[in-house]
Structure formats: structure tokens, C-alpha cells
Amino acid sequence: MKKRILFLLLSIQFTSNYLLAQKSFLQKQGTATQLIVDGKPFFVLGGELGNSSAACTQDIERIFPKLERMGLNTVLVPAYWDLIEPMEGQFNFSLTDQVLQQARKNNLKVIFLWFGAWKNSMSCYAPLWFKENYKKYPRAYTRSGKPLEIASAFSEAVYQADNRAFSQWMNHLASVDKEEGTVIMIQIENEIGMLEDARDHSKEANKAFNASIPSPLIEYLQKNEKKLHPWMLKKWTESGRKKQGNWQEVFGEDLYTDEIFMAWHYASYVEKLAQTARSIYNVPLYVNAAMNSRNRKPGEYPSAGPLAHLIDVWHSAAPSIDFLAPDLYDDDFTGWVAQYHLHNNPLFIPEIRLTENNGVRAFYVFAEHDAIGISPFSIEDASDAPNNPLVQSYAKLKELIPLLAPYQGKGRMRGLLFDQTHKERILTEDDLILTCRHNFTLPWDPRATDGSVWPEGGGLLLKLAANEYIVAGSGLVIEFAKNTEKTMPADKKKLGEDGFLQAGKADKESWESNEKETTQTWSGSRCGIGFVDEVTVNPDGSLKYIRRLNGDQDHQGRHVRISVGDFKILHVKLYEYR
Ligand code: DGJ
């Protein structure tokens, strides 16, 4: 008995030490999943290096100080299998060590990307000895029998070789980083997916395709029936919700069944690597996906990657993976991010095309989608000038983290994002209507009307209390009104750029509504702006006053705005009058 108690106490001690030792982990707060680093919620203000930018020490030394100047708190860096194991069984971790050393020197956390068996579908970062020995490490095949430069996910030898290098590298990482905790997450492989065909047609793959569907997948679908991704629910339902049979019997005969099958096998492979990682150095793990955009079909886009519509397949086969992450290079940013912020998937954007818009988009995802982070691709190509919108945006977001973190997952924040097409968003809060618009909907900036392309405007709105808000970001304007006000005649009047009524009869509509107003009476209260203060945020999340903006800067109390090109944090207090 005594022995059992002692054993129990020791294992409790061991477990709590182990948890304490883990410097980064995911934690739920309300509906959000937060990344906790060194005991605090951490928003990844990141950037991913171009593919070849961490392949020599000189580049790492040159680039990392610039990243710190840009205000990044995290860099996403490839770990290249071919440079780690150039000769079979001989390992070289010098680049990894250099990355960690430079990251620590420049106050950056690191997310490593394991460029192992697959990188953008292909096996380009597998070592030459692996590539040449295609008999031992077989390729995936198209339907017509063409071998691809894609290692087959059905080969035990491929997995053994990839996993051996991965575990050696993880062991090294653990030995040099467990104490420090510079590495905060690991991405396993990069943009996995089959190209040219929706699935591998090698002999082994065909055998698996004609075999019964693994029972854990069916059990998962049954157990999670009410929470399945709508796409998966439809696919399974339309083919009769069968509980056994081979892949085509259960899901029907089409390309998407091939994709589901392939996703199961890619995810099962990744699960084994994830378990390796967990057993050695337990940091959050994710996989990234190239999008199924532009109406392409599986195989035209990388089929079976960790895509939103396949989340149930990935979850059931790879439960050790924490989330699926989108790489965003196409239009419809707001649509894509919404697809990856799911009840069972937090949003993290490991790659987004490097553009001027990244700055406002960062605000948007943290507030609208409780994002874990964002990371423009090929970040070393961006300017580190203080007026670069990304640099301005990261500086403000870094300040805002202690203020925003307690509110994530609690329904108190909204993200705003506007361009020339999507100019306005109307929000309601308590008994207020908030009309939020692109700053160029105001007539004062010549770029609004001279044919210039409007830079995206956006930011966040945080409700601190009734009638008290934080507005932060760039290029936006917000008007506040009681919801009863919208029916009142004053709303129909058009004001000129000076705030006075549009010139009399020259503006017929305005004139008529003004005439009408004189015959109608007001009822109900109005919402006024008590003050707008530009503020900074202290490390404890409290606000520090910089200056009051109650004159021209808020149009004498008519709205709250931040010009295009400026990034600001505003503290707004509203009041009610009759
Ligand atoms: C997405 C990939 O994940 C990156 O490694 C890189 O190849 C970019 N595409 C290129 O734009």
C-alpha cells in the first residue's frame, strides 16, 4: 500500500514537473484557443522565411536582426531534411543551432517547419540518397502509371527514413531548447497533397483503396455526427451513411472519395511523426495546407491536404495534430479565414502573400477570429522602415496583446476590414448601431476619389464596457447611434465635407429631407461622443493617455476615425443625451 502511495505521489510530481517544464501549449478560453508561451497568452506576430533563406549561416545572421527591427515576435523557419541528413545516418544540426542562437539574440521565438518527405506535395527536400534509391523509397503514381517526385505515403520505408531523421532532429532540439523554450510550435511537413491525380495509384495504394474503410474513421463519423464539417456530413449522407465497405462503397465513386482516402493515409502518416514529436519535445503541432481555390478539383490543387472540408478525416487519423492551418495566396481573405476558424480548429495563418495589406489583416484576424497568429511569407523581403504598414501594425498589436488577451473567446471583439468594394459594416452592440466604414468614404482625402486604388482599411473594436470601446487599426471611421435614431429624419441629411448641410437646393435630396425634418419631431435619446483619446497600452493592459482628439480629429464629435497610413489605438467613451 505504502509503495503504491509513493508511486502515485511520484507520478503526480513527475506529471506536474513535466507540465511546468512545457514552455508553450494551447489553452481554451471561452470559445478561443490561445497559445500560451512562458505563462502568458502569446499572439504570433510572425513572418515565414523564403524557402532558401535559412540554408546558410550568413543569411540567418543577416536576416534575423532585420526581423527584430520589423517588430516580429516569431519567425517561421524551415528545417531541411536534406541538409540535416546529407549522408544516410549522418546528421548535421548546425543550421538549427544557428537559427536558435540568432533568434535568442534578436528576441524572436521560432516555429520550425519540418521539410521532410513532402514540401508543396513534392519530395524536393528529401536527401539525394533517398531520392536516388526509389526502389527502397517508392514514389506515388498517377492513374496512368507515371511515377511522381512525391514519396508514397504507403511505404513503410519512406516513413521510417523520414521519422528517423525527424526524431534525431527533435532529440537535438529538445536537448538545446527544452530549458529555454525558444521553439513554440512545430509544423509537420509542408503543404502535403497529391498533384496530377486525387490519390496515389501505386500497387500498395490500390490495395488499400479496395480494402475496407478503417473502423476508427467510421466510428469518428458516427460519434461526431452532429459536429461534422457540413461538407463531410453531406458526402457521407448522400452516399447512404454506410458503416462498412470499401472507400467507394461508403463514399461513392468520385474524385472526392479518392481525396478522402488519400487524406486518411497522409494524416495517418503525419500522426506517427506527431507522436514522435510529442514523446520527445511536447510543443503544439500543426499542419499547413495549400488552398483548394479557383474551382480546381482534387489533384488540380494538392488533393487530400489538411483542408477545411477534410478536417474530420484529419482529426480522426491524426489526433495528435493540434490544428490545420491555411496558406493564403488567393483573393477572398475574409472567406478563407472564416473557413479555418471552426468550433474544432483555431485560426493560425502560417503563410499569407506578403503585401501592404498584411498590417490591417493582422488586426482583423485577432479580433474577428481569435487567431493564434499570422505570418506573411518571405518576410525578409519586406521593408523594416518604421512607416511600413506591417511594422506599424505589429508595433501596435504588440502593445495591445495584454489588453486583448483576456477578451479572446468572450464575444467582446470584432474585426473590421474594408476595401473599395466592401466599404461598410454595420454592427449592433447593446442599444447602439455602429456604422463602420473605410476611411476613404469620407471626402477629405483626395485618394478617395482621384482613381487611386484604396489600400485596405481595418482594425478592431473591443467593447470594454457599455458605452466604452477601444478602436485600433488604420483607415477606418465609425459612427455611433442609438438604434432608435435610425428612423429619425436627421439621418437622411447629407453633410458637406465641412460638416455643414449640403448646399441648399443644389442638392435636391438633401434639401427635401431637410424640409421634411422640420415637419417631424424627434423622440428617444441620442448617442454622443464623450471623448476620443489616443492611448498606448501598458504591459499590464492598462491604458496610458497620449492626447485628446475631440475636435477636427473626430469631426467635432460626429465619428471616430483613423486615417489611411496611420496606425492608432483610440479609447472612446460614449454618452447618452436627449
Ligand atoms: C507555399 C509554400 O508553403 C511555401 O513554402 C512557398 O513555396 C510558397 N508557397 C511560394 O509562394
Of 380, 402, 424, the domain-final residue:
402
Q: Verify that 342 and 481 share a domain, yes or no.
A: no
Q: Note whether residue 25 is domain-resident.
A: no
Is residue 245 included in any domain, yes or no?
no
Cα of 51 to ligand 1 centre, how many Å? 7
What is the pLDDT, as a whole number, of residue 492? 53
> DSSP class of residue 501?
B
How many residues are present in the chain? 578
**Shortest-distance atom of ligand 1 to CA 353:** 11
190 Cβ inside 6 Å of ligand 1: yes
- Which domain CATH number covers 474? 2.60.220
Ligand 1 neighbourhood includes 51 CB (under 6 angstroms): yes
Q: How many Å lie between the centroid of ligand 1 and the Cα of residue 400?
A: 30
Q: Of 48, 112, 120, 287, which is best to mutate to test ligand 1, by the most ligand atoms within 8 angstroms of its C-beta?
A: 120
Which of ligand 1's atoms lies nearest the C-alpha of 78?
5
Residue 374 and residue 291 share a domain: yes
Range among 5-9, 252-256, 492-496 rated most confident: 252-256
Verify that 508 and 462 share a domain, yes or no.
Answer: yes
299 shares a domain with 161: yes
Q: Quickly state the pLDDT bin for 502 (edges 50, 70, 90).
A: low
State residue 308's pLDDT score. 98
258 in helix, strand or coil? helix
Given this model, what pLDDT does residue 516 score? Answer: 57
Position 493 scores a pLDDT of 58
Give me the amino acid identity at 365: V
Confidence of residue 521 (pLDDT cuts 50, 70, 90): confident
Domain assignment present for residue 205? The answer is: no
Examine the domain organization and report whether 276 and 135 are in the same domain. Answer: yes
pLDDT the model gives residue 295: 95
| H or E stretch at 36 | strand 32-37
Neighbours of 528 (CB within 10 A): 15
Residue 496 has pLDDT above 90, yes or no: no
In a domain, 235, yes or no: no
Q: Ligand 1 atom 9: the closest Cα is on which residue?
A: 120
Q: Is 254 helix (H, G, I), strand (E, B) or coil?
A: coil
Does the CB atom of residue 189 touch ligand 1 within 6 A?
A: no
Distance 154 CA to ligand 1 centre (A): 25
Counting atoms of ligand 1 from 1, which one is nearest the CA of 350? 3
| Domain hosting residue 494, numbered range | 414-513+521-577
Long-range contacts of 549-556 (CB under 8 A, 24+ apart): 554/529, 555/499, 556/499
| 383 and 478 share one domain | no
pLDDT (0 to 100) of residue 16? 47
* 317/428 same-domain check: no
Domain boundary among 371, 402, 433: 402
Taking the centre of ligand 1 as the mean of its atom positions, its distance from the CA of residue 361, in whole angstroms, is 19
pLDDT band of 22, cuts 50, 70, 90: confident
pLDDT-derived band at 410, boundaries 50, 70, 90: very high
| Spatial distance between the Cα atoms of 52 and 378, rounded to a whole number of angstroms | 10
Mind giving me the DSSP string for 443-494? S-SGGGTSSPPPPPEEEEEEEEETTEEEEEEESEEEEEEEGGGGGSGGGG--
Q: Which ligand 1 atom minimizes the distance to the CA of 191?
A: 3
430 located within any domain:
yes
Centroid of ligand 1 to alpha carbon of 552 (angstroms): 45
Same domain flag for 460 and 381? no
Together in a domain, 509 and 383: no
**High-pLDDT (> 70) share of the chain, %:** 91
Distance of CA 503 from the midpoint of ligand 1 (Å): 55
377 in ligand 1 pocket by Cβ < 6 Å?
yes
Could you tell me the distance, in angstroms and rounded to a whole number, from the CA of residue 118 to the centre of ligand 1?
12
240, part of any domain: no
Contact predicate 189/116, CB 8 Å: yes
Q: How far apart are CA 191 and CA 287, in angstroms?
A: 8
What is the distance in A from the centroid of ligand 1 to the CA of 290? Answer: 8
pTM of the model: 0.93
291 pLDDT tier (thresholds 50, 70, 90): very high
H or E stretch at 415: strand 413-418
- Report yes or no on 236 lying in a domain: no
pLDDT class of 20 with cuts at 50, 70, 90: very low
Residue 486: pLDDT band by 50, 70, 90 thresholds?
confident
Whether the CB of 375 sits within 6 Å of ligand 1: no
Q: Is the pLDDT of residue 28 over 60?
A: yes
- Is residue 155 helix, strand or coil? coil
Is the pLDDT score of 491 beyond 60?
no
CA atoms within 13 A on the CB side of 502: 17
Do 389 and 339 lie in one domain? The reply is yes
User: Is residue 334 located within the same domain as residue 440?
Assistant: no
Same domain, 313 and 430: no
Q: Where are the alpha helices (DSSP H) in 178-254?
A: 203-210, 215-223, 230-238, 247-251
What value does the mean pLDDT of the chain take?
94
Protein residue whose Cα sits closest to atom 6 of ligand 1:
51
Q: Would you say residue 406 has pLDDT above 50?
A: yes
Q: Is the CB of residue 48 below 6 angstroms from any atom belonging to ligand 1?
A: no
Residue of minimum CA distance from atom 8 in ligand 1: 377
Between 139 and 488, the higher pLDDT residue: 139
pLDDT in tens, 30-77: 999 999 999 999 999 999 999 999 999 999 999 999 999 999 999 999
Asked if residue 257 is part of any domain, the answer here is: no
What pLDDT, in 10s, does the model give residues 77-111? 999 999 999 999 999 999 999 999 999 999 999 99
* Confidence grade of residue 362 (pLDDT, cut at 50, 70, 90): very high
Q: Which of 355, 378, 402 is the last residue of a domain?
A: 402
**Tens of pLDDT along 177-211?**
999 999 999 999 999 999 999 999 999 999 999 99
Distance (Å) from CA 54 to ligand 1 centroid:
14
> Is a pLDDT exceeding 60 seen at residue 10?
no
Q: Which is the closest atom of ligand 1 to the Cα of 51?
A: 5
**DSSP category for residue 541:** S
Q: What would the mean pLDDT of 168-184 be, rounded to a whole number?
A: 98
The mean pLDDT of 288-309, rounded to a whole number, is 98
Cβ proximity of 341 and 29 under 8 Å:
no
Question: Looking at residues 137-143, what average pLDDT do you find?
Answer: 98
Whole-number pLDDT of residue 523: 81
Which has the minimum average pLDDT: 194-198, 358-362, 487-491, 554-558? Answer: 487-491
Distance 49 CA to ligand 1 centre (A): 10
Domain CATH code at residue 313: 3.20.20.80
Residue 566 has pLDDT above 90, yes or no: yes
Domain count, the chain: 2
- Give distance in angstroms: CA of 120 to centre of ligand 1: 7
